[in-house]
Amino acid sequence: MKSGFLDKLIARLDQVEPGEVQRLVSRLVREKGFLESVFEALQEGVLILDPDGQITYVNQAASRIFGINATKCIGQNLSSTVRGIDWKKLADPSSIVSRDMEILYPESRYLNFYLSPMHGEMEKNEQLLGYVLLVRDITRSRIQAEENVESEKLNALTLLAAGVAHEIGNPLNSLGIHLQLLERKINKLSPENQADLSDHLQTAQGEIQRLDTILKQFLQAMRPTHPERESTQIHDLLRDTLNLLAPELEERNVQVSLDLAKHPPLLKLDGNQIKQAFYNILKNAFQALPASGGRIDIISCATDYEVTITIHDHGSGISPEVMGSIFEPYSSSKKSGTGLGLLIVRRIIREHGGEIEIESQSGEGTTVTLSIPRQDKNVRMLENEADHIIELEPTEQPSPH
């Protein structure tokens, strides 16, 4: 029903029969109820605002997305109700605004909002009646796009790795062999002549070895692999890795605190790969500690769905500028680092169906959490005659009685 018709109706309301007025009012109520039902059924959030940015209507989707009460927010300004939106900068009666934004409350999500002004004729003049704000949750598509970009990067790096292995690997082997031959000839010289040449030889051999290590790490990070899984106790793998690193931890005066789950389930793991992931994380952790030493806290937790291992160091932490590129190859804050350690860890954990999360703050340490899903997920259900939880094996079926 057009606003112009409503204006004419209101102007001549005293000339309309009571029965006709009742019929028109009923029609307006039905149309209003129909439109609200449509808005409530939408997955997208819908907010109707007056020209000053005061909220006049919010559908259930918008209430859920922004974590606001659909009744209490009526009459409030949008800027004071929804965090991160500045109404004065946003509102423009002459144009449509479409932007992406990230919200942290009630949970971290990416949104796209579309703000359009609504105009109508009032006394033969076009006037701003308000705005409609449409909100769409694009978190899933944003994450999918990031995963696609990451996958394309890895594919490109995998192709590059094949070329690197051929173009650099063979010359390195050849240089190593010739340096060994050179070493034999130097050893035949007099002690006076050996001194200077031996220093240069050791430097060259050290650089060759370093290049060879970088090449192997790069190939290991990029080359697709299939884990050779066996039923394994993940705590045993963790302890084996700590034993391997024990001399370095002792030399650096690093204390390790263990708070492990008492009865963790067996997991289908590739033991060597998981130990490598632990090795890389723990080495990063103690290298971030002060030269005088420090402490690393390791906590494990087992739920019905997954096992998590959390490794927290009380070291220097990671700056916000570096956090955005910690999984990028050759992005390292350490002078001798290759930047491939965490890339290898993430590849290993994801090949096991898990995920890695990293939280850090400069000067307050870093927390790395590894989550690996269980294969024997327990099924929980309520009995009909009691309100307590019982646990069934995955292959069991609940009794029909």
pLDDT in tens, 273-316: 899 899 999 999 999 999 888 999 999 999 988 999 999 999 98
| pLDDT at position 75 over 50 | yes
User: For position 387, what pLDDT does the model report?
Assistant: 46
Q: Where in the chain is the domain with CATH 3.30.565.10?
A: 230-373
The alpha carbon torsion through 113, 114, 119, 120 (nearest 10 deg) reads -80
| pLDDT at position 80 over 60 | yes
| pLDDT at position 344 over 70 | yes
Q: What is the mean pLDDT of residues 334-343?
A: 63
Q: Where in the chain is the domain with CATH 1.10.287?
A: 142-222
Which overall architecture, per CATH, does domain 230-373 show? 2-Layer Sandwich (3.30)
Of the CATH numbers 3.20.20.70, 3.90.1150.10, 3.40.140.10, 3.30.450.20, which one belongs to the domain with range 3-139? 3.30.450.20
pTM: 0.51
Convert the pLDDT of each residue in 202-254 to its tens digit. 888 888 887 887 777 666 656 656 778 899 999 999 999 999 899 999 999 99
The alpha carbon torsion through 94, 96, 100, 101 (nearest 10 deg) reads 50
User: For position 334, what pLDDT does the model report?
Assistant: 57
The alpha carbon torsion through 121, 125, 127, 129 (nearest 10 deg) reads -20
- 74 or 25, which is more confident: 74
Q: Where in the chain is the domain with CATH 3.30.450.20?
A: 3-139
* Separation of alpha carbons 350 and 32, rounded Å: 51
Residues 6 or more apart whose Cβ sits within 8 Å of residue 200: none
Q: What is the mean pLDDT of residues 366-380?
A: 80
CB 283 within 8 A of CB 247: no
Query: Which pLDDT band holds residue 187 (cuts at 50, 70, 90)?
Result: confident
Q: What is the mean pLDDT of residues 371-379?
A: 76
Rg (CA), the chain: 33
Three-state secondary-structure class, residue 337: coil
User: For position 40, what pLDDT does the model report?
Assistant: 80
| pLDDT at position 267 over 50 | yes
Helices (H), 299-369: 320-323, 341-351
Mean pLDDT for all residues in the chain: 80
Q: Does domain 142-222 have CATH number 1.10.3470?
A: no
